[in-house]
Every structure is written in structure tokens, then in C-alpha cells.
Amino acid sequence: MNFIEIKNSKKFKKNYSIFFDFINFNIQDSIFKLFGFNFFLDFLKINYSKSFYIERNKRIIAYISYIDSFSERKLKNLIIKFINRKPFFLLLIVLRNSNFFFKFHKPPTNYLQLMHLIINLNNYENNFLRKKIYLKIDSLNKKICKLNKFKGIYAMYHRKNNRAANYYKKNNYILYNKNFFFYFVKKEIR
């Protein structure tokens, strides 16, 4: 059981919607849920080499993606282009998801952003499997940081997301900022 890079995945090339559905099912306020499937495909074009998953018994049980500052600028440009094509959509976003704008932040210097971290195990799957996935995540974090010469990983999560809070606490991430809706955490990778 290892992380598979999406760009090398036969499953991904056959069915893009598997990952789109997995993200949207597990993240209530996903940007992809807001902007749709075509936006997700455009995002993957700029970031597919930093997106990974674990499959077990023919189902995805974990998904992780990172985004560097260069790709994040491209993502912001995609958002602006999308909104310019559908200006009424901006008003809808503001009315339905005002907390979305609280995601804007100043990232820590030379840290890679953990954009998605989803672990979806059934109730019958034990803690041993969860711990094994945590070790795989740590290993992937180290590999990605070393390869791209980043000092560490940072992430943000909604204040109501207790599962994320527990994961980051157990894995020694440090709170470095917060606002009304989100916590921002980081971890130096050695």
C-alpha cells in the first residue's frame, strides 16, 4: 500500500470523476464543489504531479495534494477567469460561502502547502491501517519537500473540522495563524 501519483495512474486516465467525487464527498466546502468538474480538470492540468492517492480493495481510501506558490498563482488566475466568465457566480459565492475569502493568508516562507488531505476508512478498518497511512503521509511529505527543497509543510483547515484538528495535533503541526473561520498550521520537515 503506497501513494500513487495521479499523473502515472491508469485509473485516473480512464475516469477523472473518481477523484473529483472523492474530494467533494469528503470535503464539504471544496473549491471544486463550488466551481465544478471542468474547473477541477483545469486545476489538475497545472498540479497533477503533486496529487496522490492510496487505493485498497478497489476503492480510494486516501488522497493528498500539495500546491506550491507558482501553481497557487495559476489557480488564482483560473478562479478569476472563471468568475469573469460568470460574474453572477461571484455574488452567489459571496452569499453562500463568505468564509471562503478568509482562506487568503500569508504563507510561511519556503513551506509547501498541503492542499488536500483526505483519509476515508470504513468503521471496521482498524487503527493499525490509519497509523500506516499516517506513516505513508510522513514519508511522502519528506520526499516532496526534499525533492523541491522546501523547509516544511503548511495547511489550513476550518475551525469546525475536528478530524483535521486531531490529525495535525497528533502529527506535531504548530498553529502559526488563525482567523474567524480557519486555523493555519505548519510542520518543519527534516
Residue 91 has pLDDT above 80, yes or no: no
CATH of domain 4-188: 3.40.630.30
Q: How far apart are CA 95 and CA 42, in angstroms?
A: 25
Q: What residues have CB less than 8 Å from 33, skipping those under 6 apart?
A: 24, 27
Reported as a single tens digit per residue, the pLDDT across 98-132 is: 455 446 667 899 999 999 999 988 766 677 888 89
**This prediction's pTM:** 0.84
The predicted structure's pLDDT at residue 22: 92
Identity (one letter) of the amino acid at 153?
Answer: I
Reported as a single tens digit per residue, the pLDDT across 31-45 is: 788 788 888 888 888
Q: What is the 3-state secondary structure (H, E, C) of 61-85?
A: EEEEEEECHHHHHHHHHHHHHHHHH
pLDDT band (50, 70, 90) for residue 94: low
Phi and psi torsions of 95, nearest 5°? -70, -40
The predicted structure's pLDDT at residue 64: 94
The predicted structure's pLDDT at residue 75: 86
Residue 185 has pLDDT above 60, yes or no: yes
